Amino acid sequence: MIHICEVGPRDGLQNEKRHLSVQQRIELIEKLMDSGIKKIEAVSFVNPKVVPQMSHPEEVLAGISRKKGVVIAGLVLNSKGLERALDTELDVIHFTLAVSDAFNQKNARRTVEQSVAEIEDMIRTVAVQGKPCAAILGTAFGCPFEGSISEDNVLKISERFIEAGCRSITLADTTGLANPLQVKRLVNRFFETFGETVELGLHFHNTRGLGISNVFAGYEAGVRHFDSSIGGTGGCPFAPKAVGNVCTEDMVNMFHSMGIETGINLEQLIDTALWLERQLERRLDGMMMKLK
């Protein structure tokens, strides 16, 4: 069984020129739930002056008609964002940093060490509140500013978060630099280091056209949790030539074609991608939606 975290309402929209209203974002989330998606990264608690596409997360969360069995997650970058997130009905809190100093400075205005120390503290705070959390390690497969990233460093940061109490780690290819062999190597090292007691997820962007190939490489290496974005939307406002995430409906189609279950209604998902295309008033990158 494949477990998908749909990041379209957050990562998918944060780089869009057309800003969707609170009601449009709520409608997107509800359509995704209706298609069978069981985990959705719905909002981000960031400064609306920096990322206006993510403004009013509290209103979005309050407006969702929740569905039994669907996990709603929100992204937090710092302690101020965590305070806001803990005042909502979020099921899971996502923390993120870039393991590249140059990228992390642009994205969070902190060194990697500063972000790691702050996230360790936030993981402990969340544990006291009894909420689960996940840590997303951006630029884990390469950085557009620094180039290659040390796998040892990725594993050391993962270890610190795990020791702080985080049981879910996602390795993210923020700007699409990964290749399938690299993915298999790092995934194998992760499982060799931490076993399977820690949930490992993968997050790929399609900048160089290798996104879905990297998903398959991760699957072959044993990963069953993947991030993806409806219509292939997405991209980081701080990344040069940022391109969208692996497309959810294309990834679901790949798994279904191989006889691997996702629990998702593909036709309904494609309809949602076409709906989002109309809201954003631009052609989206997904392939399956172009066949309908």
Q: What are phi and psi of 261, to 5 degrees?
A: -80, 145
Q: What are phi and psi of 136, to 5 degrees?
A: -105, 120
Considering the candidates 5, 143, 236, 247, report the single residue annotated as catalytic. Answer: 236
- CA distance to 105, 109, 214, per residue, from 115 (Å): 10, 9, 27
> Measured between alpha carbons, how far is 20 from 144 in angstroms, rounded to an integer?
29
Element (H, E) at 127: helix 112-129
Q: Is 5 known to be catalytic?
A: no
Residue with tokens 């929100």: 74
SS3 for 114?
helix
Q: Taken in order 195, 213, 175, 2, is the CA torsion positive or negative?
A: negative
Residues 6+ apart with CB under 8 A from 213: 179, 180
Q: Which residues pair with 138 in a beta bridge?
A: 98
Residue with tokens 């360790």: 120
SS3 for 105?
helix
- CA distance to 33, 135, 216, 254, per residue, from 224 (Å): 20, 17, 10, 14
Element (H, E) at 135: strand 133-138
> Measured between alpha carbons, how far is 183 from 203 in angstroms, rounded to an integer?
11
How is residue 245 annotated by DSSP?
Answer: B
Name the residues annotated as catalytic. Answer: 236
